[in-house]
Structure 1
Amino acid sequence: MTGKTHIIGGIAASLAFAQITNYEPVLLLGAGAVGAVIPDICHGGSKIGRTFPVVSKIINTLFGHRTFTHSLIFLLMAALLFNAFLPNEAIAAGLLVGMASHLVLDMATKNGIKLLFPFKVTVRFPITAKTGGTAEYVVFAMLSLLSVYFGLSAFDFNL
């Protein structure tokens, strides 16, 4: 999936998460959008990879793309770090929700992810989409609509 699809996925997921928590929706929304791009630090051409090229190169050299940073162990390590060092629970939760949304979206691609890293098992959904293809644009549109729906509910807009 492309960066914009990951970002809208993080937004939709964090706004959906806001429906079942008492966290501030604005914090979840912002953190969810940021968290949605974090797993692609392993790819030098990604939004975050271009922002932190040295870190991206090191991670890619050590692990490759869609392995460690796309795994449950990475999510667990991030959760521990966020909870230890971030002063706000809503921000930590939003980052994790955004990161989780990234993994789910990449499981919908042909290449899948190494969700159970260090095991070399590739995890993907039975039906996949090509990155940048028509199916991804449909996913993007659906996530955009979900973001509006959950956003209206999270911010108590009564239309």
Structure 2
Amino acid sequence: MKAGTHLVGAVALTTLYDRFVPVSWGAPPEGVESVVMLGAALIGGLLPDICHPNSTAGKKISSLSVMIRGVFGHRTFTHSLLFLLIVGVLTGLIPGTYGVAIQTGILIGMVSHYLLDMLTSRGIRLFYPIPTMVRFPWHTKTGSFLGEGSVLFVCMLWISYYSLEYVGVIG
């Protein structure tokens, strides 16, 4: 998937989290923390592509991106549960409610990235270092108008519904 789709996907999954996670599981943050979480989700939505030097994330830290790609390749380590766990532990070291918002947002964004890339014909190595590629039975080519466009449409439809419900236009 392209960067724009990953950003929209991160927003969609963050709003799903806000809408459906029960308070007993840890209430989604409110106020400034919710903005921090959404910003972190946008970063998390792009972070796994740090392994691709031409990606939005890869261009920001090109030397690190080239190194990661050289060692691991694309859609391997940075698209795995192992990387998700490492990022989760590292972001868990950030103290306070902002730390929780950052950790939650980055992890939500990364999960959305993984799910979206599992919708592509190439899939991801979710269980890296195990060499099995994981993808959904229904998949599309990255950047295809119909496939990626459909994903964008569904995500935007959900975000629109969530927004209208949030402000009380629909019940």
Compute the TM-score of the two structures, normalised by the length of structure 2. Answer: 0.87
1:18 shift after superposition: 1.4
**Mapping 1:1-159, distance limit 5 Å:** 1-19=1-19, 20=21, 21-24=27-30, 25-85=34-94, 87=96, 88=98, 89-133=100-144, 134-153=146-165, 156-159=166-169
Q: Tell me whether 38-47 or 82-91 shows the greater mean CA deviation.
A: 82-91
* Residues in 1 aligned to 2:68 and 2:52: alpha-carbon distance in whole angstroms: 8
Equivalent residues, number? 157
Would the aligned equivalents of 1:15 and 1:28 in 2 still touch at CA under 8 Å? no
Q: Which runs of 5+ in 1 are unaligned?
A: none
Cα deviation per residue 1:54-112 (whole Å; 9 max; x = unaligned)?
A: 11001101100000000000000000000013542112101100001000100010000
More moved, 10-19 vs 68-77 = 10-19
Q: CA RMSD in A?
A: 1.3
Rg comparison, structure with higher value? 2
Between the two proteins, what is the percent identity of the paired residues?
Answer: 39
Residues 41 and 108 in structure 2, CA contact (< 8 A), matched pair in contact too: yes
